[in-house]
Amino acid sequence: YFGGDSAAKVIEATGQVSVLRDSRPWALNVGDAVRVQQVIVTGADGYAVFRVSDGSTFEVYPNSKVTFRNTPGNLKDLLDLWMGRVKVVIQKWGGQPNHNRVRTPTAVIAVRGTVFDVVLEDELDTTLVSVEEGQVAVEHALLPRGEPKLVSAGEYIRVYRNQPLAKRQIDKDSIIKRALQALADAIYSAPTGGGPRVPSGAGGGAPVPGGGGPTLPGDTETEPPPPPPPPPPPPGGN
């Protein structure tokens, strides 16, 4: 049975995906329903996609634990993530905002219609929120919240258990940039027989690693040239 706002239907499942009933795991298969306040658990190979009545979906990734609609009667509270990672796709109602919330031990993420990921990191003390489409409002779940931080498409924010939210924590495209930079670093540091390679334009004046070679223009660590030899002593005489 799947009807109303009281259940989420399994539309895709692979590996170990279960729902807890009286603290015991029961396997979930495509077509099964998860009801309000039930806990979904995935194993190391488990992955599932769930759809609710308005067409919104959420994906639960391996090694995750999540409660569906943990607050009875409040349809805004969609998920409570206790471990692992989820991806949420919130559909709009006739172009109008569709208010939903996802909670973690450290963050409250409010959405109206968007696509975003939520990951618990560092022994569950840190929440990573990454937005693919739309915009979410993120608040701290433990510390004084103040104004929520708006995170837009292409941005992400990390919420730390013991740190209040700061605007500087919102970053844009840095995950991709850091991955590309790491790849570039690996390429440029490949051994070539004469020390690591240095890309043209890199360093802006740093010496070439490996020693024995010329320094780049503007090097500030070059040793000064040796002083000229002293003049010969004056000739002796009376």
pLDDT, tens only, 189-225? 444 444 333 333 333 333 333 333 333 233 333 344 4
Question: Higher model confidence: residue 232 or residue 187?
Answer: 232
pLDDT, tens only, 11-35? 999 999 999 998 899 999 999 999 9
Query: Strand 65-68 vs strand 100-103: parallel, antiparallel, or unpaired?
Result: unpaired
The pLDDT > 90 percentage for the chain reads 52
- Give the separation between CA 17 and CA 116, rounded to whole angstroms: 22
CB 34 within 8 A of CB 43: no
Question: What pLDDT does residue 170 have?
Answer: 73
- With a CB cutoff of 8 Å and minimum separation 6, the contacts of 222 are 207, 215
CB 127 within 8 A of CB 107: yes
pLDDT at 173 > cutoff 80: no
pLDDT, tens only, 92-146? 766 677 889 999 999 999 997 899 999 999 888 999 999 999 999 999 999 876 7
Q: 137 to each of 59, 126, 165, 214, how far by Cα in Å? A: 20, 17, 12, 52
- Give the separation between CA 199 and CA 216, rounded to whole angstroms: 12
Question: What pLDDT does residue 124 have?
Answer: 87
CB 100 within 8 A of CB 71: no
